Structure 1
Amino acid sequence: MEESTMALNRTPAPIERRYRSIKVATLLLILCLGACRAVAPTVQMPTLELINWNTYHLFDHQLHQESATAWLAQQQPAMVALQEVLHVDSPGLSSLAEKWGHPYAVMHKESGYPVALTSSAPIEVIERRVTGFHHGYLHARTHGFDVLVVHFWPGKIHEPQHIAKLAVDLVSKGKRVLVVGDFNGEIRHDHEYLLEHGQLGEVVDGVRTFDYRITDTFLESGFVDLTDAHAPTARYTFGSPALIPRWRKDMEDVHRTRRRIDYIFADPATAKRALAARVVTDDSSVGLWSDHYPVVVTFSP
């Protein structure tokens, strides 16, 4: 009886072998998946970061130069565009740039209010222009981008018109174009913010209006405001505690005139390479070192 019961309960040999094979294969698959998950790290594509910053006379006449330089080094950007680069000549700028890891640095002049570009890759200077401009501009090529670093004067509409025409021509030749800097003008993307915050603009027939001609020149030429595209809640780049007490009496006074006047514009094809944007508005650090805040855009290479 016992032998008969055992015989009835025993799995036939071919089925048993097949069952064992399935179990072994399943176990191997689980082990393989686990091993792959353990040893295969997430592949991160390399990116390029551009920082644009009006330095307020080189970080309040170099008073905060060391802190600002250390901050830039921590960010590890591929490119840095600067305005109001006073108190240094070209060798001095190169020494500064080396501190944030950039062996390449150029400025468009060494007097007045220079603009500059530093990079982790070689820089080809295409044009340094002062004639006909209040401050002038720098056109340079690095990391595969044609970068136009500008510092416009309010109301001088011929300056952005010249740059926009140049930028459009470069795009027609297949260049990846970025127009970056201090535009000294608001943008219509921020119209509601400007109405709700501050006492800016001009009231005409009871309606507060703003002069958007500088930034309209680029929007109408097809260029993309990358901050608005990727960080639409970032509505001011100017107006920090660094203005107190010389230019503003207190933070309430600062808040009334905060607005966005620093931009990174890109042609539509280049704009598609932009992955993220932000304005760093930390008043315990960057807001003490300059009256403008850094604008940062991350690109795919």
Structure 2
Amino acid sequence: MRVASLFCILCLCACRSIAPTASNPGLELVNWNTYHLFDHQLHTDSAAAWLAAEQPAMVALQEVLHVDSAGLARLAAQWGHPYAVMHKESGYPVALTSSAPIEVVERRVAGFHHGYLHARTHGFDVFVVHFWPGKIHEAKHIAELARDLASKGNLVLVVGDFNGEIRHDHDYLLEHGQLGKVVAGVRTFDYRITDTFLESGFVDLTHAHAPTARYTFGSPALIPRWRKDMEEVHLTRRRIDFVFADPATAERAMSARVVTDDSSVGQWSDHYPVGVTFAP
């Protein structure tokens, strides 16, 4: 009996750690802050070609400037997505594109710096966010909505640019020594935005599946306007882009990755794309 029980446990663990394969590719969501739509459209074709080659099922984007809804639809078509929505057509929009139909639940701007999009596709409730640093009420509002949906059995994802670090990366952040604030000789970091989701029971899927991925922001695209050279870029690299999932949805996650190729994606945006693959 004990042998049989042990066998069942081992099988369950193996199933949870299974990686995507050609026969079981899963559904990948890619989140990407596009840096003013790939440096004011300078690299849009290259980025679109990269996404087309990756073939994600869903793409969440931030800083989708220079296009309206029709322009976003044309852009999404370049990577094979016939469905695309954005939460506004001015300022710093967020957007979601998908290979499956999208149901828009809410487009919110009022009371938020950038706003957010809540939509449903591929069976997931997806919140695409772009938080403003220090505006904790934005995170609390989304976390409350997401927690309520999860309690009803919905599969919930909160994805985007959180503009805040996470305590999972505390040691890494201390090692860099250039981030956070020094108070009474102690370097501290503001984790309140990401703590809001961790304390609500949501799972940081990159940390869960790719714990050695330490940065999503800080690429050569910052040079020369925002950073002098790569030494300065390296000093301020950190994770501020996340894919959070409720526990039930997290169980469906198969793998996660941050693509930090500075010969391609690192030239097109100051943020790197974050991908999470879910069991279909």
TM-score, normalized by length of structure 1? Answer: 0.85
The 8 Å contact of residues 198 and 258 in structure 1, kept in 2 or not, is answered as no
Alignment match, 1:188: 167
Is 2:227 the partner of 1:248? yes
- 1:218-237 mapped onto 2 (5 Å cutoff): 218-237=197-216
**CA–CA distance in 2 between the matches of 1:177 and 1:198?**
35
Once the two structures are superposed, residues 139-187 of structure 1 have per-residue CA deviations (whole angstroms, 9 ceiling, x without a partner) of 0000000000000000100000000000001111110000000000000
SS in 2 for 1:135: coil
Q: 1:128 and 2:98 equivalent?
A: no
Deviation at 1:198, TM superposition (A): 4.3
Q: Is 1:166 aligned with 2:124?
A: no
One of 31, 53, 64 as aligned partner of 1:85: 64
- Pairwise CA distance, 1:205: 1.3
For 1:67 and 1:94, how far apart are their aligned partners in 2?
Answer: 17
Residues 67-146 of structure 1 correspond to what in structure 2 (within 5 A)? 67-146=46-125
In the other structure, the counterpart of 1:29 is none
Partner of 2:8: none
Helix, strand or coil at the partner of 2:49: helix
Query: What secondary structure, in the 3-state scheme, does the structure 2 residue paired with 1:229 have?
Result: helix
Distance 1:228 1:171 in 2: 21
One-letter code aligned to 1:127: E
Q: Give CA-to-partner distance per residue, 1:249-268, whole Å, 9 cap, x none.
A: 00000001000000000000
Of all paired residues, the percent bearing the same amino acid is 85
Letter matched to residue 107 of structure 1: M
Residue 157 of structure 1 pairs with residue 136 of structure 2: yes
- Of the two structures, which has the highest relative contact order with CA contacts closer than 8 Å and spacing of 6 or more? 2
Matched, 1:297 2:276: yes
Q: Tell me by how many angstroms 1:43 deviates.
A: 8.2
CA gap of 1:287–1:43, structure 2 versus 1, over 3 A, is closer
> Which residue of structure 2 lines up, in the alignment, with residue 11 of structure 1?
none
How far apart in 2 are the matches of 1:95 and 1:182?
A: 24
Structure 2 CA distance for aligned equivalents of residues 118 and 43 of structure 1: 23
- 1: CA distance, partners of 2:77 / 2:213: 30
Structure 1 position 178 matched with structure 2 position 157 = yes
For 1:105 and 1:131, locate their aligned partners in 2 and report how far apart those are by CA, in whole Å: 22
When structure 1 is superposed on structure 2, of 193-202 and 120-129 the one drifting more is: 193-202
Taking only aligned residues, the RMSD between alpha carbons, in angstroms, comes to 1.0
Residues 99 and 208 of structure 1, relative CA distance in 2, 3 Å threshold = same
Give every structure 1 segment of 4 or more consecutive aligned residues whose post-TM-superposition deviation is greater than 4 Å: none
Gap regions ≥5 residues in structure 2: 1-20
In 1, the alpha carbon distance for the partners of 2:271 and 2:244 equals 17
Alignment correspondent of 1:39: none
Query: Greater CA radius of gyration, 1 or 2?
Result: 1
Q: Distance in 1 between matches of 2:54 and 2:183?
A: 44
2:23 alignment partner, SS class = coil
User: Where do residues 251-290 of structure 1 align in structure 2 (5 Å cutoff)?
Assistant: 251-290=230-269
Distance in 2 (CA, whole Å) between partners of 1:66 and 1:43 is: 27
Displacement of 1:111: 0.1
SS at 1:139's partner residue?
Answer: strand
Deviations 1:9-32 (A, max 9, x none): xxxxxxxxxxxxxxxxxxxxxxxx
Q: Following TM superposition, by how much is the alpha carbon of 1:204 offset from its aligned partner in structure 2, in angstroms?
A: 1.1
- With the length of structure 2 as denominator, give the TM-score of the two structures: 0.92
Q: Which amino acid aligns with 1:53?
A: W
Question: Once the 2 structures are TM-superposed, how far is the Cα of residue 287 of structure 1 from its aligned partner?
Answer: 0.3
Amino acid at match of 1:63: L
User: Could you tell me whether the CA contact under 8 Å between 1:47 and 1:299 is conserved in 2?
Assistant: yes
Contact 1:69 1:96 in 2 (8 A): yes
d(CA) in 1 for partners of 2:212, 2:25: 26
- 2:96 alignment partner, SS class: strand
State the 1:46 CA deviation.
4.4
* Equivalent pair of 1:183/1:263 in contact (CA under 8 Å): yes
Cα separation, partners in 2 of 1:211 and 1:94, compared to 1, 3 Å: same
Cross-structure match for 2:176:
197
